[in-house]
Structure 1
């Protein structure tokens, strides 16, 4: 049979206008979409794009306060800068490649230079309004999905100069989305740390920082466990803060031109290299690089002319040079640390002594587990050839970002307990991006134990190798690590034990937003025509009211009760995930309270908050 030829003519060539292209290919402009359960989901990128413009006004010396309000799904941002020129208000939010930063030297070290950000917010919002206040005059316009629906003539105003923007993300694009306050709050804190003197009012709470990155580290470390006072260094176009703690791994907060580069880049790599080199030269000893960097907590912020990022969302710096005529990023950071950190350590003997003791401790710990680590890695290597615990997927998060498709951001490892639960997920998963790791019973409570246990415990060792996080997150194989356990007492206990494992030995997994809890429906409400799955008692009541006439109600008590066909509905596009968010940076205190000795304080908490199965069943009968 001859192949059917597909026509290709002038009629097949289509040109999309700016808003159509953004809505058709949103990932090109804001990265992944998501529902707000991850800190880098699209709704937070929309928020950031608008705040960035207000930050630029502050940098220009116009306006020291920004008001941010988020209620339900609506976002309101008001700055007190110069205000968009009234004659260009509509153009600035609806004409691509239109902005005021292209030729201005003041914005040479700004992130958003492409004139796309605000337009993307406009196109991806069900409702978008902009109002500029300038020299006693104001201009207002309203849009829906990028299309202007209302324009008001200029008129007089008594309001202070500045710009007010309101938007509601389009639920057609961002399905079942919600803003998680902790993610927004973290973003706000980063803005004030990087812009000393700026005040941001978020939902009525004031955010302000006087000491910049010093304040960032102070907030994110425990004064009782850091090994020496925070070192704070500032230079032209660079700021650094660092200390060492008692946690496992390395922890970095990196920024470029005010942008939080959560995936690091050339500047973070240069800092890690320069830290090792400077410390070796100061102590005149060739310490192992891993011993120097073990337990480090550091923040670095640099400013780069015409920065090059590896994605539109600017989470990883790719620039090799500080600017067209400047040194390389590597040379710039190395020269700065070589002088400033070396001088600091010479002047502050307590910091130098604390640093040396931490390095020596890391060296002893590394040598102590060297033997068991070698044996454990050999066992893991053999097991990986036929690892019954891991049912892997085809795409991985550590695939080359330049060649891999965007699916790698959705790569997920489900950690399950028991054959029935893992069997249902395995049969219904997307084999391209979803993997399953099966636990056998409850994992060990590892609170207070050393990292040696990770290698001695076969299950923990296989899990760290499946994730590829033994030496940090650079090789992390799955962007989303999802704990999938039953919604009963045993399931909750397993969740706590797994969270303890990650917080104790791999806290960066949690702090970088990779750990989640899978939500599965508690109830199935159905009649002969329709089936509704409910994730809460409120949803159950709403479903009963909708279906009426005494529908059939099933309460799922375990993942194994959900058939593979049904399970596919709960781990697909509409998968509901609860992020594990670390609100308190004092990990030791958190684990001590929940996983340590059974104190009276914890007993009272459990008694006050316990709801037993019998109570829940009685509530169902009453309903």
Structure 2
């Protein structure tokens, strides 16, 4: 990984054109290989959170090995401090573990049998990508500290006496020449820390003075994630190197959270595939009925956490498990999970007959609904299959999220837009490699209160489902980002609501897993002969007027179709502005949809009147 051939364009290919990059230069030139995307902190998977996670993983590994029950995390606008109370890095190895690639204790499976950070890369990437990186190990009354800048040693202190508890302190400031305009958002950090404590019952993490602790492990996680009531008490099963929680609710689809050695595998992997199959098979065999797996899994909400010796992930960011076996001498992942569920889940259902009765009722209801719409489903699938051959609604891209390989599949996105002019602007401006466009014909149907049947009966919903490839769950999702691109007027807002209602009703996991976005487009263009500025808010418009003081011309965009393709290219390129649609525990989906999309007309009218803001166009001109 340290060597890379660099050939300068325009020069003859000779020995003079070949050079060797050292470890820090390679990381800084190719950060995506080590931390995924860069970003500015506005999304939960942006690079600055990966840097935090790489440092935290080392602290968590110490806890998992039985050392240090508390971790403190302090973050201001730019600086991060993580302090664990584990054993502390051996003092003579502080420099090696922070600045030598492929160096760490975790190659020795006896010391770190089921660790998260395995490749001796993570903390070195944090070091190289930080404008300041300070590491200090406290161990048995002595301490050793080193200060770096972009991976270069600035200060290397000698060992000193200390009265502090054993453990390691890391302080870093992400380099703002790489992470441009970044800022940490508390909600993303808190979600990350909650996962850590759910997976490590008894661990306490204190973030900027706020305490995170879990007594019930994955049960707490499921209760945090669910936005509707479970039909029966959460089934909680624990064994050596495995923990499972399962329940069902009345939402459509399947919702899973999977973890390996404390790592949240957001894209699943061999363990999640094995869990889905084993849970379905065990439940089917328990009732001794020929149930369809889709009926068993409809409405399921579950989490699975396993510990694997020397796990193999499909990338350095460790979001998908590739391991086939639990360890060098252990069973396959599939057999390990299958055997555990066959015994423990079957025993649980035999002992808890009330839960078994409720689950049976849920499965039968799902089966009844599926059979009732079987005819419609078959016709709709055939229609969608024919449409896919010459689907005028979908202008597809070349790279898809469910591709088995591809460095930029995370960038795969689809714009859902309305109207020929808006569709035309985006289609002509898009990157055909990673950006697809799906065109709506006017306003979609209000799907609130309707059954899954409408997804197949309504041609647009059916074609959208087919384009996204989510009929059988989101494992096969074709686009990482589903971007609703509508005008910023009343009709555009209504279309947004109708689409979000559709996703909440039938594919809530797309929202919960962070795949749905709203495209921000500029409201104003302020320009003169020398400069053009695009403004997304009234504040930005005023700032632009202050900057362009001579003969400013102000254009207010009423719709996407008014923006030329040449201009639109700026708004869906590298600097695209997206608002992620999120769902929190306190957002009760049923109540939200009932209020905004139901038939409580007078209640909603009164709310609108009380909260109405009237904008005077004359003041904007």
Question: Is the structural similarity TM-score above 0.5?
Answer: yes
Match of 2:3 in 1: none
Contact 1:140 1:151 in 2 (8 A): yes
The answer to whether structure 1 residue 593 and structure 2 residue 595 are counterparts is yes
In 2, the alpha carbon distance for the partners of 1:207 and 1:390 equals 45
Q: CA RMSD in A?
A: 2.2
**Is there any run of 5+ residues in structure 1 with no aligned partner, and where?**
none
Match of 2:192 in 1: 187
Match of 1:508 in 2: 509
In 2, the alpha carbon distance for the partners of 1:555 and 1:152 equals 59
The structure 2 residue matched to 1:46, chosen from 23, 40, 51, is 51
Contact 2:253 2:300 in 1 (8 A): yes
Secondary structure, aligned partner of 1:242: strand
Residue 105 of structure 1, CA deviation = 1.2
Residue 156 of structure 1, CA deviation = 4.5
The structure 2 residue matched to 1:313, chosen from 311, 317, 323, is 317
Contact 1:63 1:80 in 2 (8 A): yes
What CA deviation, in whole Å up to 9, does each residue of 1:515-539 have, x standing for no partner? 1111122222323222222223333
Contact 2:105 2:111 in 1 (8 A): no
The structure 1 residue matched to 2:293, chosen from 286, 289, 296, is 289
In 1, the alpha carbon distance for the partners of 2:290 and 2:68 equals 50
**Is there any run of 5+ residues in structure 2 with no aligned partner, and where?**
1-8
Greater CA drift, 160-169 or 147-156: 147-156
The answer to whether structure 1 residue 385 and structure 2 residue 350 are counterparts is no
| 1:43-442 alignment runs, 5 A limit | 43-103=48-108, 105-221=110-226, 224=229, 226-401=230-405, 405-442=406-443
Aligned pair count reads 612
In 1, the alpha carbon distance for the partners of 2:198 and 2:117 equals 19
In 1, the alpha carbon distance for the partners of 2:208 and 2:598 equals 36
In 1, the alpha carbon distance for the partners of 2:591 and 2:158 equals 58
What CA deviation, in whole Å up to 9, does each residue of 1:461-512 have, x standing for no partner? 1111111111111221111110111122222221111111111101111111
In 2, the alpha carbon distance for the partners of 1:545 and 1:492 equals 30
Match of 1:460 in 2: 461
Residue 323 of structure 1, CA deviation = 0.7
Residue 246 of structure 1, CA deviation = 0.8
Match of 1:479 in 2: 480
Residue 351 of structure 1, CA deviation = 1.1
Greater CA drift, 75-84 or 347-356: 75-84
In 1, the alpha carbon distance for the partners of 2:81 and 2:552 equals 42
Contact 1:67 1:201 in 2 (8 A): yes
Secondary structure, aligned partner of 2:137: strand
In 2, the alpha carbon distance for the partners of 1:422 and 1:319 equals 43
What CA deviation, in whole Å up to 9, does each residue of 1:290-345 have, x standing for no partner? 11111111111111111111111111111111111111111111111111111111
Distance 1:104-1:380 versus aligned 2 partners, 3 A rule: closer
Distance 1:241-1:375 versus aligned 2 partners, 3 A rule: same
In 1, the alpha carbon distance for the partners of 2:79 and 2:597 equals 39
Greater CA drift, 585-594 or 58-67: 585-594
The structure 1 residue matched to 2:29, chosen from 24, 28, 34, is 24
Residue 210 of structure 1, CA deviation = 0.5
Match of 2:571 in 1: 570
Residue 176 of structure 1, CA deviation = 4.1
What CA deviation, in whole Å up to 9, does each residue of 1:244-286 have, x standing for no partner? 1111111111111111111111111111111122112211112
In 2, the alpha carbon distance for the partners of 1:261 and 1:358 equals 28
Match of 2:614 in 1: 612
TM-score (norm 2): 0.93
Secondary structure, aligned partner of 1:107: coil
Greater CA drift, 285-294 or 97-106: 97-106
Contact 1:221 1:586 in 2 (8 A): no
TM-score (norm 1): 0.93
Greater CA drift, 562-571 or 74-83: 74-83
Residue 541 of structure 1, CA deviation = 3.2
Contact 2:61 2:116 in 1 (8 A): no
Secondary structure, aligned partner of 2:404: coil
Residue 223 of structure 1, CA deviation = 6.5
In 2, the alpha carbon distance for the partners of 1:128 and 1:610 equals 50
Contact 1:524 1:531 in 2 (8 A): yes
